[in-house]
Amino acid sequence: MKKLLRPLRNAIVLGTLTRAVSAFAAIVPTEWRHRQEINVSTPGVIRVELPDATFDAARPDLADLRLLDPDGREIALLVDTPSTPPAHTTRPASFEARLENGNTVLLLGTGTENIGLAAITLETPHPHFLRAAKIEISSDRDSWTSVDEGVPLFRQWGAERLAITLNHRPAAWIRITVQGVTVPFTGASLHFAAAEPVSALPVGARITGRQEFAGETVLTVTLDGKHAPLTALELDTPEPLFMRRVTVAVRDVRDLVPGERIVGSGTLYRVALDGAKPRAQLELNFSHQPLSRELLVHIHNGDSPPLAVNGLRVKREPAGLRFLAPSAGSYTLLAGNPQAKAPRYDLAALVGDLQAATATIVAPGPLQDTTNYQPRASLAEPPLPDVPLTGAPLDPDGWTRRKPVQLAAAGVQELELDAATLAGARHDFADLRLVRAENQIPYLLERTKLARSLTLAPETAPDTRRPSVSTWRLKLPHAGLPLLRLALTSDTPLFQRQFRLYEKVTAGDGRSYEHTLASGEWSRTPEAGSPRTRVFELSNRLQTDTLFLETDNGDNPPVELAGVKAEHAVVRLVFKTAETDGYELLYGNDHTAAPRYDLSLVAPQLLTADRHSARLGAEEAAPAGFARGALRHLKGGYLFWGALSLVVVVLLVVVARLLPKAEASK
One-letter identity of residue 540: N
Which of 285, 355, 282 lies closest to 316, judged by CA? 285
Bridge-based pairing of strands 411-416 and 612-616 is parallel
Q: 231 pLDDT exceeds 90?
A: yes
Residue 138: beta bridge partners?
173
In 3-state terms, the chain is what percent helix, strand and coil (to 5)? 10, 45, 45
Contact 572, 417 (CB under 8 A): yes
- pLDDT at residue 287 in the model: 92
Bridge partners of 206?
Answer: 222
N-term to C-term CA, the chain:
145
Dump the DSSP string for 556-571: SPPPPP-EEEEEEEEE
Backbone angles phi, psi at 379, to 5 degrees: -110, 5
CATH classification number, 201-316, choose in 1.10.3470, 2.60.120, 3.30.1490, 3.40.50? 2.60.120
| Between 49 and 113, residue with greater pLDDT | 49
Q: With 80 as the cut, is the pLDDT of residue 181 above it?
A: no
Give yes or no for a contact between 472 and 459, defined as CB atoms under 8 angstroms apart: yes
pLDDT exceeds 90 at position 530: no
Nearest CA to 139 among 168, 104, 110? Answer: 110
**Kind and range of the H or E run holding 646:** helix 638-658
Average pLDDT over residues 72-93: 81
For the segment 563-576, the average pLDDT, to the nearest whole number, is 93
Say if strands 401-406 and 512-524 run parallel, antiparallel, or are unpaired.
unpaired
Res 54 pLDDT > 90: yes
Q: How many residues does the chain have?
A: 666
Going from the C-alpha of 572 to that of each of 432, 546, 607, the distances in angstroms are: 11, 26, 11
**Cα–Cα distance between 591 and 428 in angstroms, integer?**
12
Q: What is the pLDDT of residue 4?
A: 42
Distance CA 335, CA 318 (A): 18
Q: Say yes or no: do domains 87-193 and 459-560 share a fold.
A: yes
**For range 120-142, the mean pLDDT:** 90
Q: What is the mean pLDDT of residues 321-337?
A: 92
In order, the DSSP letters of 242-308 are EEEEEEEEEEEEETTEEEEEEEEEEEEEEE--TTPPPEEE-EEEEEE--SSSEEEEEEE-TTSPPPP
Contact 291, 55 (CB under 8 A): no
Q: Using CA of residue 97, residue 194, residue 362, residue 375, what is the dihedral sign?
A: negative
Superfamily designation of domain 87-193: Galactose-binding domain-like (2.60.120.260)
Task: Tell me the percentage of the chain whose pLDDT exceeds 70.
Answer: 85
Give the predicted TM-score (pTM) of the model.
Answer: 0.77
Instruction: Read off the pLDDT of each residue in 196-212 and give the average, rounded to a whole number.
Output: 87
pLDDT at 2: 44
pLDDT computed for residue 634 by the predictor: 45
- Mean pLDDT throughout 202-223? 93
Distance of CA 199 to the CA centre of its chain: 26
CA dist., res. 325 & res. 58, Å (int): 22
Q: Please, are residues 128 and 155 in contact by the beta-carbon 8 Å criterion?
A: yes
480 pLDDT higher than 70 = yes
Beta bridge partners of 393: 439
Question: Is beta strand 74-75 parallel, antiparallel or unpaired with respect to 360-362?
Answer: unpaired
Amino acid present at 165 = T
User: How do the domains of the chain map onto residue ranges?
Assistant: 2-81+319-369, 87-193, 201-316, 459-560
DSSP structure string for 545-559: SEEEEEEE-TTSPPP
CA distances from 132 to 80, 182, 598 (A): 42, 12, 57
Within 10 A of 469 (CB to CB), how many other CB atoms are there? 15
pLDDT of residue 639: 54
What's the confidence (pLDDT) of residue 100? 87
Pair type for strands 205-213 and 216-223:
antiparallel
Query: Within the chain, how many helices (H) and strands (E) appear?
Result: 6, 45
Output the pLDDT for position 640.
Answer: 56
Could you tell me the CA-to-CA distances from 592 to 231, 267, 389, 395, 425 in Å, in that order? 48, 46, 22, 12, 12
> In what side-by-side order are the strands of the sheet with 216-223?
205-213, 216-223, 294-300, 242-254, 257-271, 279-281
Higher pLDDT, 190 or 352: 190
Q: In the chain, pLDDT over 90 holds for what percent of residues?
A: 54
pLDDT digits over 489-527, tens only? 999 999 999 999 999 998 888 888 999 999 999 999 887
Query: Does the pLDDT at position 609 exceed 90?
Result: no
d(CA 436, CA 419): 23
**Residue 196 burial (10 A CB sphere; 0-12, 13-18, 19+):** exposed
Q: CATH 2.60.120: does it fit domain 459-560? A: yes
Report in angstroms the alpha-carbon separations of 245 from 265, 302, 433, 614: 7, 9, 37, 29
What does the alpha-carbon distance between residue 242 and residue 267 come to, in Å, rounded to a whole number? Answer: 10
For the beta carbon of residue 206, count every other beta carbon within 10 angstroms. Answer: 12
Average pLDDT, the chain: 85
- Find the mean pLDDT for residues 523-536: 82
H, E, C per residue of 427-471 = CCCCCCEEEECCEECCCEEEEEEEEEEEEECCEECCCCCCCCEEE
Q: Within 13 Å and on the Cβ side, how many CA atoms surround 67?
A: 26
Measured in whole angstroms, the distance separating CA 644 from the mean position of its chain's CA atoms is 56
Buried b (16+ CB within 10 A) or exposed e, 99-114: eeeebbebbbbbeeee
Query: What does the alpha-carbon distance between residue 292 and residue 604 come to, in Å, rounded to a whole number?
Result: 10
pLDDT of residue 664 exceeding 80, the answer is no
pLDDT at site 377: 61
3-state SS string for 76-99? CCEEECCCCCCEEEECCCEEEEEE
Residues 6+ apart with CB under 8 A from 647: none
Residue 195 pLDDT exceeds 80: no
Which of residues 145 and 356 earns the better pLDDT score? 145
* Lowest pLDDT segment from 109-118, 325-334, 398-407: 109-118
Question: What radius of gyration do the chain's Cα atoms show?
Answer: 34
Q: Which of 169-178, 270-279, 313-322 has the lowest mean pLDDT?
A: 270-279
